[in-house]
A = this chain, B = another copy of it.
Amino acid sequence: MSAAVPSEYLDLLQKPTFAHLTTLMPDGSPQVSPVWCDFDGTHVVINSAKGRQKDRNMRRDPRVALALSDPENPYRYLQVRGKIVEVTETGADAHIDKLSQKYLGKAYPFRQPGEVRVIYRVEPEHVSGSGN
């Protein structure tokens, strides 16, 4: 059952807020790291590169969690727990440029030779906001 993001926290998905994304390792233990993200109106959308730890984790176990802390007020944050409902390479190169425009104001400058970008769509199942 998909959960909606409360309107008073939507700004955190719109402005360049880092999401701390947790994925699960093969033994079920957690791994967390900061990522860029955006929002398609329903899903939180992430972009990574094929073969990275978080890519392997999300393909094996779709359960993830995200926290987006307001860069202007760390006591205001959005928590999302959900699952990956789509993993695709289609459009992923254009999408990392779009995210880079959002966060850096320019096309993605960190591409590595042979890097294959991947889009992951997170369906929110439990959403809560804290602070105001």
Contact = CB atoms under 8 A, between A and B. Distances in A.
Contacts of A71: 74
Within the oligomer, what is the number of copies of this chain?
A: 2
Interface string A12-35: 000000101111110011111110
Chain A at the B interface: SS class = strand
A13 to B, nearest CB: 16
Nearest to A34: B69
A67 B20 contact: yes
Interface of A: 18, 20-25, 28-34, 63-67, 69, 71, 74, 77, 79, 81, 130
Closest 9 CB pairs of A and B: A20-B20, A22-B30, A30-B65, A29-B63, A22-B22, A32-B65, A32-B67, A22-B32, A30-B30
